[in-house]
Amino acid sequence: MLKKIESARKNFEDDISKVTNPTTLEELRIKYLSRKGIVAQLVEALKEMPKEEKPKVGQALNQFKNFTSEKFDELRTKFESHSKSKREFIDLTLPDRQYTIGSKHIITQTLDEIKEIFKGLGFSVYEGPELESDYNNFEALNFPDDHPARDMQDTFFVTKNFLMRTHTSPVQIRLMTEKKPPLRAIMPGKVFRNEAISAKSYCLFHQVEGLYVDTDVTFAELKGTLVAFAKQFYGQDVQYRFRASFFPFTEPSAEMDVWWQPKGKDGRWLEVLGCGMVDPNVLLNVGIDPEKFVGYAFGMGVERTAMLKYAINDIRILFDNDKRFLTQF
């Protein structure tokens, strides 16, 4: 009899280890603790035992009965607790979760608007790699060997001859090398500068370069194109001015400013882009005859353009992924 009780205990321990839900737990209770269960059958068998053996066997049977009852109650309490916490978590009186649809980042929105304006002015879109050769990024664009932009403090050099492009101007070199004039295109993309991060500068930003090369291209046409862009982007009442400047790859060169008037603050002129007529040396470097063809080029920073239009005073917030900021656009 003692062997039967011990065998029943082992079988019970094996069965209860397989219980995973209240249904299988109830099946186990019926099997062992119901009126016709295994424990009840052992109690009936105890009645047939000799009188001298009943105390010892009865003690073992009571221990087995108490063991099964405790294990059953313990597991039932666990299931009920889990079910209760789950019911408390799901409150059907609460409103449903509101799912918001994402939107384009403010930089992407600005870049798309710039591209659409220039495509409306007859420009196509052309892109190039972010890892560039020193030749395309500097030499072909008429940068002398001692130009400050070649210094490690401004440029991320990967090897001696390759670097992360510091502007999208090398895409102009690729375009003029691969295709013959007339050429009219803009080149959007990321650029990289080894600069200290501050409210006005960042090590990564976006630019849009523009290029037009043909037989009869004038500075007046360049100015007219940029004024048309400024009026479409900033509004018809935008105030602008052109200032003489210098760039190695254009001659003559200029910078375009717009008047910025933030609310409650004094207004001031802010540069929005650089431009000029393509230097003849650049045309020679790509195999275009400067006696026959002439062109203009311009370049603008997308972050600066967005900051001016939307009165953003810190470039770093454009890269922080702060939902409170991004949802405003």
Could you tell me the residue range of the domain that residue 211 belongs to? 106-326
> CATH number for the domain including 272?
3.30.930.10
What sections of the chain are H helices per DSSP? 2-16, 22-33, 38-47, 54-89, 106-120, 134-137, 169-178, 219-234, 280-285, 302-310, 323-326
Mean pLDDT for the chain overall: 86
Query: Are 114 and 248 contained in the same domain?
Result: yes
Nearest CA to 197 out of 301, 108, 318, 104 is that of: 318
Instruction: Give the pLDDT score at 199.
Output: 78
State how far the Cα of 27 lies from the Cα of 35, in Å rounded to an integer: 13
Q: Which two tokens stand for residue 185?
A: 């295109």
Query: Are 191 and 287 contained in the same domain?
Result: yes
Burial status of residue 43 (CB atoms within 10 A of its CB: 0-12, 13-18, 19 or more):
middle
Count the domains in the chain.
2
Q: Is residue 154 part of a domain?
A: yes
Residue 140 pLDDT more than 90? yes
Nearest CA to 117 out of 305, 320, 265 is that of: 305
Query: Are 130 and 10 contained in the same domain?
Result: no
Instruction: Give the pLDDT score at 83.
Output: 59
Query: Are 266 and 129 contained in the same domain?
Result: yes
Q: Write down which residue in 36, 60, 89 finishes a domain.
A: 89
Query: Are 196 and 322 contained in the same domain?
Result: yes
- Residue type (1 letter), 57: V
Query: Are 158 and 255 contained in the same domain?
Result: yes
Query: Are 158 and 256 contained in the same domain?
Result: yes
Q: Which two tokens stand for residue 259?
A: 């008047």
Identify the residue with better confidence: 295 or 71.
Answer: 295
Model confidence at 62, in pLDDT bands (50, 70, 90)? confident
- Could you tell me the pTM of the whole model? 0.66
Q: Is residue 263 part of a domain?
A: yes
Query: Are 165 and 60 contained in the same domain?
Result: no
Query: Are 19 and 168 contained in the same domain?
Result: no
Q: Is residue 99 part of a domain?
A: no
Query: Are 286 and 196 contained in the same domain?
Result: yes
Query: Are 48 and 165 contained in the same domain?
Result: no
Q: Is residue 24 part of a domain?
A: yes
Q: Is residue 97 part of a domain?
A: no
Q: Is residue 251 part of a domain?
A: yes
Q: Write down which residue in 89, 117, 150 finishes a domain.
A: 89
Instruction: Give the pLDDT score at 236.
Output: 92
Q: Write down which residue in 39, 58, 89 finishes a domain.
A: 89
Q: Is residue 25 part of a domain?
A: yes
Q: What is the pLDDT of residues 222-261, one digit of tens each?
A: 999 999 999 999 899 989 999 999 999 999 999 999 987 7
Q: What is the pLDDT of residues 178-224, one digit of tens each?
A: 999 999 999 999 999 888 888 777 888 999 999 999 999 999 999 99
Q: Is residue 94 part of a domain?
A: no
Nearest CA to 326 out of 101, 98, 106 is that of: 106
Q: What is the pLDDT of residues 7-38, one digit of tens each?
A: 777 877 777 777 778 788 788 778 777 777 78
Instruction: Give the pLDDT score at 309.
Output: 83
Query: Are 161 and 49 contained in the same domain?
Result: no
Q: What is the pLDDT of residues 261-273, one digit of tens each?
A: 766 677 788 888 9
